[in-house]
Copies of this chain bind each other. A is one copy, B any other.
Amino acid sequence: MTLNANTLLTQAPAVLNVGIDAFNPSVIANGGTLTHLQWQPPGNADPALAWKLAQLMADPRIEQANVLATQRIINARPMWEDIALRADGVWPEMKNTRLLLHAGPPVAWGQMCGPMRGAMLGAVLYEGWADTPPQAQALLEGGEIEFAQCHDFGAVGPMTGIISASMPLIQVRDATHGNLAYTNINEGIGRCLRFGANGPDVLQRLKWFEAVLAPVLKAAVRHAFDRSGGIDLKAIQSQALLMGDEVHSRNAASTSLLFMALAVPLAAVSGGKDAIPQDHIHQTLDFVAKTSQFFLNYSMVSCKAIMDAAHGIAFSSVVTAIARNGTETGLRISGMGTQWFTAKSDLPQGLYFPGFKPADSCPDIGDSAITEAAGFGGCAFAASPALTLLAGGSVIDAVRYSREMYEITVTRNPSLSLPALDFAGAPCGIDVRKVVDTGIRPVLTTGIAHKDAGVGQIGAGIVRVPMQSFVRALNAMAEQFMSAPRPAQAGRPPWGSSKVAGPHFLEKG
């Protein structure tokens, strides 16, 4: 059709609108047909940021560092090798200090969400630092308890993510790069410390973990360790992607594979001298079989081991941790040390269990988004059509989320296949620059916690990581990397003395 000023004025308009959607209603109101193309200028529509972005996008040091970071993600081989029976056996500072680790970036008592406070209170009671909830509350409000982030201790925790001195820990080693990672044990559904519940039933289960479950798990994994170096968690994660899990919000297949890896050695160790009581083995297997998210913590600690191996590579813009404390969502970036780049957490969107509604939701919470950093969860949503039954959306949506994530990642992980995409490798290595450039924020699959302590999970869905976290990270990278001008002549580059230089530092300019 040739453009014609007469018909333009007399016929109903047919409009393709790019970018701002404010024009759309008037077109529709006047009987026109409209196609809206979502678009925004790179750099989150901020010209100064766009300029920095352009510099960082063109920096070969970042490209090279990101290749190295993603190679380390791909090559990592996290092996579950032990149960540490007490956290203070791993971290001696917990013996002398009343210290609680929590999920996400730092957060003061006054800013904590309901579930986080409830879980803190429960942990104080569990450790016997107080005898009653009011006493525990007083200690917490009085600054008598120290807090730190799980991530600073090489650990991760789901939801509130509280880890205290007496808790048993799952210990995982990346067999390729040697680093260790830790997490706590999944409590099942309903009233759990990780959702801020702190009643006697919750504390009793934690004591049962100490007395029964953890020694049984330890016996199983040590048996496996002696024979084959432990239980290969990435192999389970990779198999589970072929079996309908994205190993963040759905772990049905991975839990059953882990169960098999536990039950066979337990049948071997049962009944010998100094043996674990048979009843403890039965209780443990029964608990794992009934806890379809039991593998979640294993998936998280596996991903923590993977992403720590990719952390600390100078100039890399790969996201090595996404963590939420129920108030803020924070990022860590491979080349930016231990800084957190934070912004206010969004509310998850999804399906609610009967009797609950969006207004009941706690903002996005937990360290479990480490799974997305490693290419699972939202990145691997295409592998888990069944998750849409729980979290909403359709199979098409699940596939679309994974496709979107290719836009903001460095490469594909050949050891993690997505069946619905004809076995394409999962998106690997979220690049801060690509997020700011495209405006596409990482998708996290997540449980939805009640905003009040102790109610527990009220639904499941998805949430996006706040853009402001990426903008802050990009600004910090620009400040750090662009402040050292590139040398005009060949030779040892000026950033050779960077504080973030380490064993992974790239010598080539």
Contacts and interface: CB of A to CB of B under 8 A. Distances in A.
Interface stretch (A35-43, A142-150, A257-265, A482-490): A257-265
A423 B395 CA distance: 9
A419 B264 contact: no
- Oligomer: number of copies: 2
Q: Classify the interface of chain A: helix, strand, loop or mixed.
A: helix
Nearest to A258: B256
A501 interface: no
A422 interface: yes
A95 interface: no
A47 B102 CA distance: 77
A391 to B, nearest CB: 13
A422 to B, nearest CB: 5
Contacts of A243: 243-245, 252-253, 386
A282 interface: yes
A259 B268 CA distance: 16
A55 interface: no
A444 to B, nearest CB: 21
A385 B421 CA distance: 10
A420 B385 contact: yes
A239 interface: yes
A423 B256 contact: no
A267 B282 contact: yes
Interface string A376-399: 000000000110010000111000
27 contacts: A242-B244, A242-B389, A243-B245, A243-B252, A243-B386, A244-B244, A244-B253, A253-B253, A253-B256, A256-B259, A260-B260, A263-B263, A263-B267, A263-B289, A264-B286, A264-B289, A267-B286, A270-B270, A270-B278, A271-B271, A385-B419, A386-B419, A394-B422, A395-B419, A395-B423, A396-B422, A420-B420
Nearest 3 A/B pairs, CB to CB: A385-B419, A256-B256, A267-B282
Given A243-B245, A260-B263, A263-B289, 13 more contacts: A239-B252, A242-B385, A253-B253, A256-B257, A259-B260, A260-B289, A264-B289, A267-B286, A270-B281, A389-B423, A394-B422, A395-B419, A395-B422
